[in-house]
Amino acid sequence: MSEYRIQGETGEWEVVIGLEVHAQVTSNAKLFSGAATAFGAEPNSQVSLIDAAMPGMLPTPNQECIRQAVRTGMAIGAVINKWSRFDRKNYFYADLPQGYQISQLFHPLVGEGQIEISLDDKDPEANVKTIGIERIHVEQDAGKLMHDQHPTRSYVDLNRAGVALMEIVSKPDMRSPQEAGAYLSKLRAILRYVGSCDGNMDQGSMRADVNVSVRKPGAEFGTRTETKNVNSVRFVMQTVEIEARRQVEVLEAGGKIVQETRLFDPDKGETRSMRSKEDAHDYRYFPDPDLLPLELDDAFLEECRASLPELPDAKRRRYEQALGLSAYNAATLTADADTARWFEALLAEGARIQKKGEQEVARASANWLLSDLYGALNRLNKDLDTSPVSPEQGAELLALAADGTLSGPLAKQVFEIMLETGDAAGKIVEERGLKQTSDTGAIEAVIAEILAKNPGQLEQYRGGKEALFGFFVGQTMKAMAGKANPAVVNELLKKALAG
């Protein structure tokens, strides 16, 4: 990993970073109630009596939430604690109707694990660093205060109250904004592969608390601050850099860093104090008396392990070794679960309809997806979910190019029509007469006409100016509206020009 240092007036400073990521568990209900968890619902439309803390309501753990947290722990090679317990974290706030949050301080569901990151896109196996995971515990989310609905009042929306969260706590192993960004991106990818969280940071289903401290290289850890609820990879990287530089300025001016909670303002590019951060004992944690400890049996753990998919690192290595993809293409295709699934659907259909080797089909499919399709989707402001071209349609287009039905230019022309109409490539080729021709008689006739119209260039070529060969190829392809087979054109032109 590259060495990141902040240059201050008194010399270099090192930044120490840890992330606490809150990931909303993919489930059909909340952690302790059957209320729905759909994003964007009307305020207070997804609130059960348990979420609202009505008297006499008792929580019951949602097994699917526990299962997803266990699967996540297994995906990062973490210790799964067969015995864990819920605790009450007591604090009073308007969006917390119980007056406490049910969490797991003393006995979390998942213990230590790790994630490997790399900052080298072209060679992900190079410069690898391991980031330790301290724990994953499950807890319920609070509600939300809404301050912009009334000039003098704040409203409370309890739709998120009781939503199941995994709090994934890293060790303070990161030393640069780039490492923090790479860690968060990798963690998000793993969660999406496993299916335990959708990773939609813009919707609040994944957010990070960013712990930052600075020190002279090799010195003891400094006092850290915690910047709450940062909701994008880019903002996490900005938070690290801005907060670290602020701390360096404070320390070099003779001040002290106060352990506190801060907020990141992306518009102003600053962090600002929210409240002092004191010891966790202020929350008066104690075991929740309404919930029995969680005890996991071997059959449940085995079912969780068997349900895990192929994970990003394993898939990337398979793409390189079995499919012959470049390290960069393999890393790009596997960085996001949706991209990998789209590519595999494209590859499966391509392998079915093309009579070529798997590696050849894979390389062509990867290059087309990452270059042509991604380029078009960016231009149209769309993504794979909203792509006008399906994997099956893409595979048909690639097959028509591979068997010589379409030349490169014709394939691009057909692709543009597919984007506009949503029609299949084969249908477009038939209806618009866009097949490539290898008819030597027709091509020879056009070549003869081109040579007759350009006697000056012909004389120059035969006089030794061989660069003009490309001119004759271009004129021939233009005259045949791009439908001529380029290989046949080249072969016939060489014979005609030599004569």
* 136 φ, ψ (degrees, to nearest 5): -130, 120
Give the least confident one: 1-5, 165-169, 275-279, 297-301: 275-279
CB–CB of 475/487 below 8 Å? no
Q: What is the pLDDT of residue 280?
A: 46
* Residue pointed to by tokens 């994008």: 232
Among 124-133, 251-260, 404-413, 430-439, the range scoring the smallest mean pLDDT is: 430-439
Beta bridge partners of 225: 212
pLDDT (tens digit per residue) in 43-57: 999 999 999 999 999
Question: What's residue 29's pLDDT?
Answer: 95
Q: Which amino acid is at 280?
A: A
pLDDT at 344 over 70: yes
Size of the chain in residues: 499
Lowest-pLDDT range of 33-42, 247-256, 357-366, 480-489: 480-489
Number of H helices, E strands in the chain: 16, 16
pLDDT over 90, % of the chain: 77
Going 129 to 337 to 317 to 111, the CA torsion angle's sign is positive
Cα angle value 219/221/223 (rounded, 5°): 130
Indicate if the pLDDT at residue 5 is higher than 70.
yes
Answer whether 0.75 is exceeded by the pTM. yes
Q: What average pLDDT does the structure give for the chain?
A: 93
Q: Which secondary structure element, helix H or strand E, spans residue 130, and what is its range? A: strand 128-140
The alpha carbon torsion through 410, 416, 417, 419 (nearest 10 deg) reads 150
- The Cα–Cα gap between 448 and 499 comes to 11
Q: What pLDDT, in 10s, does the model give residues 271-300?
A: 999 876 555 457 899 999 999 999 999 999
Tell me, what's the pLDDT at 122? 78
CA dist 101 and 138 (Å) reads: 11
